[in-house]
Chains A and B, each alone.
Chain A
Amino acid sequence: MSTAAATHDDHHDHHHAPTGLKRWLFSTNHKDIGTLYLWFSFAMFLVGGFMAMVIRAELLEPGMQFVDPEFFNQMTTVHGLVMVFGAVMPATVGLANWMIPLMIGAPDMALPRMNNWSFWILPFAFGILIFAVLMSAFGAGNPSAPNFGWTFYAPLSTKYGPASTDLFILSVHMMGISSIMGAINVVVTVFNMRAPGMTMMKMPLFVWTWLITAFLLIAVIPVLAGVVTMMLTDRHFGTSFFDAAGGGDPVLFQHVFWFFGHPEVYIMILPSFGIVSAIIPAFARKPLFGYASMVYATASIALLSFVVWAHHMFTVGMPLAGTLFFMYMTMLISVPTGVKVFNWVATMWRGSMTFELPMKWAIAFVVLFTCGGLSGLMLAITPVDFQYHDTYFVVAHFHYVLVTGAIFSIFAAAYYWLPKWSGVMPSKLLGELHFWNSLISANLLFFPMHFVGLAGMPRRYADYALQFADYNFWISIGGFWFGLSQVIFLVVAVRCAMKKGEPAPAKPWEGAEGLEWEVPSPAPFHTFDTPPVIK
């Protein structure tokens, strides 16, 4: 350790803060890498959002007006992939990079060079995926981009997949490598670099939820890598994992995919739980209710997430006993999730609340995530799921959980920590506009999806029967409105990056707690070179 410390000091003397392109390309600083992750994820959010606009434009009216059904499928596929792997996941990794060292009093992430690599893989991974879309868009659909849905079920993605499926496989492998490295970095940092006195049960809940998320990532991303590799060998090397004609089974694909896919859902939402558990106490000016039970609830959700995967596949024809097992386990998940929601409400109860922007987003998260959770409970009831499955009801459910859930909490985090990151307060006026427009439009966009789903409209439909027309019109209007509202955030973020706005004090929020507020705003390039003392 002493040699490492010496080299580090040495390194300091030569150049303090690199500038220009080099600063970003070769950065090993957790704050710069966090910033890169956050900008990247927001760029991907806009790219994926643009694809959603194409989808909603096509569904505005019955009939095919703007794109071919084949290109429509490419849009739904890449929209899902970009949003899951490009927007939500990197955003939470960005938050982890920025905040975990600050929250536990560490000078940086434990493995800074790997940190650099795990970020810089991502632009290439998504470059490959988006290249496939551009080829399709400029080649009049030939060759086609991946068109089999973000769940890429075999044999649609194997025997029947377009040539670009191989680009998709390569891209997913790269995203996976990036995620695993990022996760290892979090685990090592949290276990080894906490300031003296920062015991596990004193860690902020955001650190806890991310630690558990990191274990989920390490456990399931290799399964994703496995399933795409099996696809690759099925496509090119004569294996028949997913081809019944060669003794394989297309349903095996779904089992392997969802063994990754269900924990993946929690990978996207657990960090949100941590964010909201930081923000609500800060603005209620009252300690988080049930800290220990929050930790245990997060851990139980993570464990249960490994035994519920087949609830995505109730209609594939499983034996009765299997179906019952997965139904009961899925229903059980609502218990720890409920505990979390009740804890947040109890934290607000008899507090002294003010409603600054981060709190607005956090409360919207609690309410709308709960809506998504409750429709999730409905989906768990298997006989009824036979009707809901693969309809817009499911689309409504997971967009409530992921957009008004995960993404709203990421906005909450951005407004909460932007003063720390940039040194200026985000514009209140623009922030309010962004919040209210997003809140109303997201509900106009996603709530009627419940109704068209119940009425029987299947998902991933490029065109629909006439009885679904009215709802789809309003859903599309909500979609365009929500899409435009996000441009407001772009302005907010750019203004902060350009240091335009009121200068932020070290602790801009009266009730905020935690080590991150003990360093100046903006946080200096190096923080906690000497570990802080935890009481």
Chain B
Amino acid sequence: MQSTLFHRAAAGLTSLMISGMTFASDWTERSNLDLRPGVTEVSQEIQDLHTTVLWIVTVIGLLVFGLIVISMIRHRRSKNPNPATFHENVFLEVLWTVIPFVILIAMAVPATRVLVQLDDTAESELTVKVTGYRWKWSYEYLTYEDDNDIGVSFFSNMTTPPEQYNNPVLSGGLFPYGTAKELVGKEAPEKNHDYQLSVDNKLIIPSGQKVRFLVTSDDVIHSFWVPDFGGKKDAIPGFVNETWALVPEGKEGTYYGQCAELCGKNHAFMPIAVEVVTQDDFKVWIAEEKEKAASGPDLTPFSGLDQAMEEGQQVYATACALCHGANGEGGIGLPFAGSDFATKSEHLNEHIDVLVNGRAAMPAFKAQLTPRQIAAVITYERNAFGNDTGDLIQPADVNDHE
């Protein structure tokens, strides 16, 4: 890292400005007004660059505004009744074209250096494929050191409970939809400190090793952003972007981020939580996960309709209710209550197919849910909300479906 006199002066002044405010190492803490320095070398260089540029523009701004204020005081009619008549000055005009140009070059040099460094994803030790879904992330571990057949992958959903974020004050019109209606006028529970940031499965990465992220999307464009790692990368359907992070040893802990590209209704509700652990811990964890993944899906049949309904209800609440309504009344997605689709037997095969392979805006759930979960939720959708088909779908039916 460059440490010119200017850098040090700028850093000193900044810390003076923000003194009295705690350094926010935890993203859920009150931020310190300024760009976060983050924990990686790159994020800190970005912060240095930000500080430098901020001071340059502050000085330029103060100069210009200072001149305006002086002029407004000294060159008002009461002080200066006879205006000057000059209207050009070649020397001045050349000067204030050339000086900004020189300042720009001075800014472009360090910017180019950091950019080149950011672009270098080579020699990474862990590669994780990050896929954005509406509205969750999935992480697939591709290679680690010499192992390039890990086969570990999982989804990461926000776990902030709906009663914490649904605090409707109006009962009609645009809000609320579905079950939120029942919350009107109810006192909202206190929000957790990691409100809007907590997830069920964190992305786990080792410290002291370069991690390459392959970022893509299953539906619309999302953006993968952990501010403390420095910078974001868009997740674009059909294309794979690369970015990387190297969290130094000793900086283990949880780092948060949020989706940074508008992706629809729950754009604000798909956080990223990364747990950085030591390399030893990581090796233990990944070995356990590999073992779990190798054992294959559980295809034990349901003992009866009741068991399937009970499991299906839970799956429905986390995976389906957001779009199809908590009572199957529909919303972004089609309604189930009393619909032909969920009650007529000729649609049964189609029902399985839509869940497994997706259709239009409906995502394919093959990768997100186990065959047992899919079977349970289809059973639930065909026997709840007043539907009464008696259909019992078994995990094997789903697993055999292409």
State A338–B57 Cα separation when bound (angstroms).
12
Asked if B210 is an interface residue, CB under 8 A from chain A, the answer is no
Determine whether the beta carbon of A352 is less than 8 Å from that of B82: yes
Q: Cα distance A450–B358 when bound, in Å?
A: 41
Interface check B364, CB cutoff 8 A: no
Q: Which of B33, B64, B177, B360 contacts A341 (CB 8 A)?
A: B64
B56 CB → nearest A CB, Å: 8
Task: Say whether B104 contacts A467, CB under 8 Å.
Answer: no
- Residue B83 CB within 8 A of the other chain: yes
Query: Are A64 and B83 also in contact (CB < 8 A) when A345-B67, A378-B50 are?
Result: no
Knowing A160-B220, A284-B75, A363-B72, say if A374 contacts B239 (CB, 8 Å): no
Q: Is the CB of A461 within 8 A of B268?
A: yes
Interface contacts (Cβ under 8 Å), in number, total: 325
Q: Is the CB of B167 within 8 A of A64?
A: yes
A474 interfacial by beta-carbon distance below 8 Å: no
Q: Which A-B residue pairs are the 5 nearest by beta carbons?
A: A244-B238, A386-B231, A455-B31, A317-B241, A374-B57
Q: A251-B239, A341-B64 are in contact. Are A383 and B96 (CB under 8 A)?
A: no
Q: Are B115 and A327 in contact (CB under 8 A)?
A: yes
Q: Does B311 contact A (CB under 8 A)?
A: no
Q: Are the CB atoms of B237 and A250 closer together than 8 Å? A: yes
Interface of B is mostly: loop
Instruction: Determine whether the beta carbon of A316 is less than 8 Å from that of B236.
Output: yes
A320 to B242, CA, bound (A): 12
A interface residues, how many (CB within 8 angstroms): 101
Q: How far in angstroms is the closest Cβ of chain B from A7?
A: 44
What is the bound-complex CA distance between A288 and B34, given in angstroms? 39
| Cβ–Cβ < 8 Å partners of B331 in chain A | 142
Contact of B234 with A315 in the complex, beta carbons under 8 Å:
yes
Is the beta-carbon distance between A464 and B65 smaller than 8 angstroms?
Answer: no
Given known A339-B96, A465-B196, contact A160–B233 (CB-CB < 8 A): no
Contact B221 A64 (CB under 8 A): no
Do B264 and A160 have beta carbons less than 8 Å apart?
Answer: yes
Which A residues are CB-close (under 8 A) to B180? 64, 68
Contact of A289 among B87, B176, B263 (CB under 8 A): B87
Question: Is A528 in the interface zone, CB < 8 Å from B?
Answer: no
- Say yes or no: B174 contacts A153, CB within 8 Å: no
Binding site for A on B (CB under 8 A): 24, 27-36, 43, 45-46, 49-50, 53-54, 57, 60-61, 64-65, 67-68, 71-72, 75-77, 80-89, 92-93, 96-97, 100-101, 104, 107-108, 111-112, 114-116, 118-119, 164-170, 173-177, 180, 188, 191, 193-197, 219-221, 223, 225, 227, 230-234, 236-239, 241-242, 256, 258-269, 331-332, 360-361
Query: Is the CB–CB distance between A323 and B83 below 8 Å?
Result: no
Which listed residue (B24, B85, B97, B258) contacts A335, Cβ 8 A? B97
Taking the nearest CB of chain A, how far is it from the CB of B94, in angstroms?
A: 10
Contacts of B50 in A (CB 8 A): 378, 381, 384, 387
**Bound Cα distance from A350 to B84, whole angstroms:** 6
Contact among A62, A70, A381 with B332 in the assembled complex (CB-CB below 8 Å):
A70
Q: CB within 8 Å of B: which of A206-263?
A: 243-245, 249-251
A155 touches B258 (CB 8 A): no
Known contacts A374-B60, A383-B231: A352-B31 contact under CB 8 Å: no
Contact status A350-B115, CB under 8 Å: no
What residues of chain A lie closer than 8 Å to B114, measured between beta carbons? 383
B266 surroundings in chain A (CB, below 8 A): 69
Given A70-B265, A370-B61, the answer on whether A350 and B75 have CB atoms closer than 8 Å is: yes
B268 touches A327 (CB 8 A): no
List the A side residues contacting B119 at CB < 8 Å. Answer: 320
* Interface membership of chain A positions 271-308, coded 1 if the CB is closer than 8 angstroms to chain B and 0 otherwise: 00000000000001111111111000000000000000
A351–B263 touching, CB < 8 Å: no
| Known contacts A335-B100, A467-B27; is-contact A383 B80 (Cβ 8 Å) | no
> Which residues on the B side are within 8 Å of A382 (C-beta)?
111, 115
Whose C-beta in chain A lies nearest to the C-beta of B43? Answer: A387
Given A244-B238, A456-B227, A465-B258, 9 more pairs with CB closer than 8 A: A73-B262, A140-B177, A148-B264, A331-B108, A386-B230, A389-B232, A390-B223, A465-B197, A468-B31
Q: Is the CB of A390 within 8 A of B232?
A: yes
Which A residues form the contact surface with B (CB < 8 A)? 62-71, 73, 136-137, 140-142, 147-149, 153, 155-156, 159-160, 243-245, 249-251, 284-293, 315-317, 320, 323-324, 327-328, 331-332, 334-335, 338-339, 341-342, 345-355, 363, 366-367, 370-371, 374-375, 377-378, 381-384, 386-391, 451, 454-456, 458, 460-468, 470
Residues of B within 8 A of A355 (CB): 72, 76
Are A285's CB and B83's CB within 8 A?
Answer: yes
Rounded to whole angstroms, the CA-CA distance of A339 and B98 in the bound complex is 10
Q: Which of A289, A378, A383, A462 contacts B86 (CB 8 A)?
A: A289
A-B contact list, 30 entries, CB within 8 Å: A63-B191, A66-B169, A70-B332, A137-B174, A147-B265, A148-B262, A250-B221, A251-B239, A285-B83, A289-B89, A317-B233, A320-B119, A327-B111, A328-B108, A331-B107, A335-B97, A342-B92, A349-B67, A377-B57, A378-B50, A381-B53, A381-B107, A383-B115, A387-B230, A455-B33, A456-B27, A461-B258, A463-B165, A463-B196, A464-B268
Measured between beta carbons, the chain A residues less than 8 angstroms from B64 are 341-342, 345, 370
A366 to B82, CA, bound (A): 24
B191→A466 contact, CB < 8 A: yes
> Is B57 in contact with A320, judged by CB distance below 8 angstroms?
no
For B267, the chain A residues whose CB sits under 8 A away are 69, 73, 460-462
CB nearest to B45 among chain A residues: A383
* A455: min CB distance to chain B, Å: 3
Residues of B within 8 A of A141 (CB): 174, 177
Q: Nearest-CB distance from B371 to chain A (Å)? A: 25
Q: Do A67 and B57 have beta carbons less than 8 Å apart?
A: no
With A140-B174, A323-B115, A342-B96 already in contact, the answer to whether A64 and B219 are too (CB < 8 A) is no
Q: Which residues of B lie under 8 Å from residue A332 when comparing CB positions?
A: 104
A68, B176: Cβ atoms under 8 Å? yes
Which residues of the other chain, B, contact A466 by a CB distance below 8 angstroms? 28, 191, 193, 195-196
Known: A64-B175, A331-B108, A458-B225. A352 touches B262 (CB 8 A): no
